[in-house]
Structure 1
Amino acid sequence: MSVGTGYEEIGILKEIAELLNEGTDTKDVLSGVLKRLLHVTGLQTGWIFLIDEKGVHRLVADEALPPALANDHKQRMCQGKCWCVNKYNNRQLTKASNIMECKRIEDAIEERAGETCGLTHHATVPLRAGQERFGILNVGSPNKTHFEKNELALLEAVAFQIGTALKRIKLTQREQETALAAERNRLARDLHDSVNQLLFSLSLTARAGVEMTQTNEIKQTFSYIQDLAQEALGEMRALIWQLRPQGLENGLVSALRSYADMLGLSIETKVTGAASIPGKVEEAMWRIGQEALANCKKHSQTTAAVLLFQASKEGVMMTIKDTGCGFHYDEQLEIPSLGLKNMKARTEALHGHFHLTSKPEMGTEIEIHIPF
């Protein structure tokens, strides 16, 4: 690692800062910054772990990992403990430090898991902004066993920049979520006060037309208009419910039960366990549950559904199933509908698991598991 002083280090920090200020996607930002950091410092290998409040680490960026660490889809990096993660979780890692040896590399050598390309040691530095901690940055090079004070000082400055950017991204995402919720509420109010009232008036007018006319053909026309207005009112109520759920304050299962009632579905529910569900998880499961129940109503050719909900301190599992007509589904092929794809995407965005089972005349089952 060839790090100069003065203007050279300021130049490196300026480059990193510009990269960090450009993006809002955490993974893309960290991958770009890591690649640039290694290039300007002459280091070869690096990786970034984000670590949650429970001490569980997640590999979000890496560059030039040796085969011993990159094999099997980087499983060695994604699982198990190591000294740097342990030190971070024990709050013993407060500044940039030399990690004398890398446990993951040691284990790989012992297990003959592949070529290590001379990488044995790395420097590690916590990513933080004030009192808020996000994870660690690790960098190393073949046959480099020690980092000088000025090298560690530069890494610490870069890590502080990364931590500040992560906090900015987190706050931006929170603001966007708040703004989205406010916009949903506004749209729901507007739909209720305008379109919903117009449809209700149309329905009443058509009903009056049926009662006032004596001509059979005109009666049928007004009756048809009334039926269309009632159907549109039902669709509008469902849309308003999706935008601004009434009853979610009483719990997710209660809200889904009410939504099923509104759709005209008979729903059997079973709840086991208890846990405080994070807001993001509750929102995602609410949207997934709505989509699944709407599919039951539209496609299953049955009016009955079952909702199973299991909560624990590790996460939540929700199953929605029906005994309707079902359809051909092969897990090896692409998911057939946009609604199902959206459910899967919402689940995986929270590092959850989505499982769909369906066969003709045997119904459909959707199982969602989201860890905390």
Structure 2
Amino acid sequence: MDIPDPARASASLPAAINSISTDWRACLSTLNRIAHLMAQHLDLTALLQHALVIISEDFKFSTLRLLLVNRPEADGLICRAGIGPATLPLELDTLFPPDQGIIGAAVQLRQLIWIDNAPGLSHLAIPIIISEQLEGILYIESQRQVLADDSTNLAIVADQLGVAIENACLFDQLQHHLAETKLMFETSHNISSARTVAEVVAAYLNHIAARRRYACTVVLYEFDAQGQFVARTVKGRWSPEHGLSSHHDRQPHERDALDDLLDAGETVTIADVRTDPRVAPSLRRMQEAEQRLAMAFIPLIVRNQRIGLVVLTAAKPHAWSQADLHPYQVTAEHLAIVIDNRRQQRLLYAHGERIAVLDERQRLARDLHDSVTQMIFSITLISQTVTSAWQRDPAEGERRVNRLIELSQLALAEMRSLLTDLHPIEREHPQAVLYAQPTPSSAPDQPSKLLQRLHKYATEVIGEQLQVSFDTTSYEQQSAVCEDALYRIIQEALNNVSKHAQASHVAVTLRVHGNRLILSVQDDGIGFDQSSQSVSQGLGLYSMRKRVEACGGTLTMTLGATAGTVVQAIIPREAPHVRSEP
């Protein structure tokens, strides 16, 4: 048994301790400096490059590379940072196969590989593992002698580097989500304030496309009654060469190999239209003519239906990355919703216009019926009695002729007023308005003399045809608008009795009861057929009902207890929501 020389042992011990201490100090320095990097919230690329500089300075290595697994494909490793010239083909941002050489061995074995394959040159490949998943390789070439302690310390550094990479990735994800949220907010603000589809598309292109390097086109579809595509229209385009342009190129739509994928909501990318077999010949010819060889299609989906596309193009063949597509993809859904909302608003507005036209037609029909038609009916009744009245008393005959002239003039004025509503003639012939102005007695701020008007109408128009009696003892004067509505209602009711009831007497009762105004018109005629639609759907009854409803009341028409018909209107005495139109 050999016994060590105490003198030699005591001489070599300080050198060994000093070597161990130096290596450990380098390891501690690297760990501390990488931890400091983590606290600075650097992005991943900057952190990796700074970390290699630290390792190179502390461990005296001249060549280092840091490779990360290419996610999500996991088809190799991407060189993300480097220092010094390397003997392996490890250029930045290039893909390295996961099964070649020392790096491939470290990937497969998931452990440190150390090779001295030439004098004065050592190779180390150290796996970086995060949560039991391989994330990358730290590759080192060293011209100095690599010791066992170096490999141990570098393994510890690799673990710390894994923690730093994980934190940087989480920080990048947070920044990505914040940027995405900001982009969504800004896009929402810009396009939501646009009023039309064209303005929405222009706002989208100015905000999203104009910040990037690809030409962007928004295409919308037109549908037939069965919901099938019939045409596509370019609504707007932005390109780096020409900026924003409002093209409205409309072409018939023909289904091709891309439609099924787009209908499913998938983004379709084409690196080169000349070589992709899915590209229709017509699209290939068009893109070659425009010298836009790479394309990406992002569908606009609303309620499970594709309403359009966001189309990206590039001049040269291009392998589209997720980073290229992401800004357009995250905003496409909101763009589709806003476009659909504007379309629905346009349809609703058009529907509202049609309803407004119908309402206006009904109003004009009601006004014609209540004014001009009633005057013509009055003219007819009076003209039938002029001859007999003249024979009995020329003065009475002359009075009735004068009444005919007065009614004719009133009818003409009413007709001119209605024509003015249809066509505002004051813009072309201001003087013509003078002939359509209401008389002072019909001004809305001067209450009309309802009872006098009713008695005059009953005497001069209805009198010889029908006996009319009035009970207005408990009536109190109402507003001019309300009294005009009452006059029109009673006028229509008396005319209906005169024309249809075959009655000899009609009683008109007008009274105030509490907070209600009650009108009743009852005749002793033949009544009406309750099953007849012509009665309930007649314009006269419709007009009366609308006028009562305008005053906040209700109108009913029933058979009398013994004979005839009873028309009754109940109106709030003081209705604050009475409309000013007659």
TM-score normalised over the length of structure 1: 0.48
TM-score normalised over the length of structure 2: 0.32
Question: Highest relative contact order (Cα 8 Å, sep 6+), 1 or 2?
Answer: 1
Which structure's CA Rg is the greater one? 2
